[in-house]
Amino acid sequence: MLTPDELTRFARHIVLRHIGGPGQQRLRRAKVLVVGAGGLGSPVLLYLAAAGVGSLGIVDDDTVSLSNLQRQVIHAVADLDKLKVESAGETIAAIDPGIRVVPHAMRLTAQNVAATIADYDVIADGSDNFDTRYLLADACAEARKPLVTAAVNEMHGSLTTLRPFDRRADGTNWPGYRDLYSEKPPAGAIPTCSEAGVLGALCGVIGSLQAVEVIRQITPFGTPLLGKILLVDALDMRFETFEY
């Protein structure tokens, strides 16, 4: 049951007919793993913490640097040189000390990914490299874990939700990550954020939408981005959704 303080804290969710008291209780019991505490992981973690997700795991092996602060809003100048999992955990505790934060100060590998995701209900991928994205997508499909994956580069962003182990109404499986991107792009084919840059505020937009998709996997409402990809073009302020 929610405590009196939680009833006050989450009052705007509780009166929301799409969530309500039972939905908020599900959020409080939920365990979500966020991979990457950077440009996307920052807003995802902030909004999942504010939403009252009871347990948040954070995977990141990096430390906070000054060049991160243009987009990684969960960190501050006082956090420079701290592990990102530590800095993010402190910010989450300041938002809601009732949340259990589980830091994973490491990089996902073929040897540790299955054990890392095993205890979580939903996975959010905010990583910045294709090796991690493919590794995580394959592991989540094998473990039957919902995966909400997003990416941002320069002025463009994308978002989709993956449940390839579940079936559509017609009996066919929902597509997986490799149905959308069959092969990794060649090394160097797509410039990194450090090479091409990225609009900081766009990370906030995509990361916030990613948090919505995670929340709807916990307390279902509306139509999730299953078999669909949302593409955001900040140059022309255009949002388009395509089926795949």
- What are the residue numbers of the active site? 193
User: Which residues touch 6 (CB under 8 Å, ≥6 apart)?
Assistant: 24, 28, 52, 98
CA end-to-end distance (rounded Å), the chain: 40
Q: Which residues pair with 197 in a beta bridge?
A: none
Place of tokens 């100060």: 105
Work out the burial of residue 157: count CB atoms within 10 Å of its CB; fewer than 13 is exposed, 13-18 middle, 19 or more buried.
buried
Question: What letter represents residue 74's amino acid?
Answer: I
Q: What angle do CA 198, 199, 205 make, to 5 degrees?
A: 120
The residue whose two tokens read 């955990």 is: 89
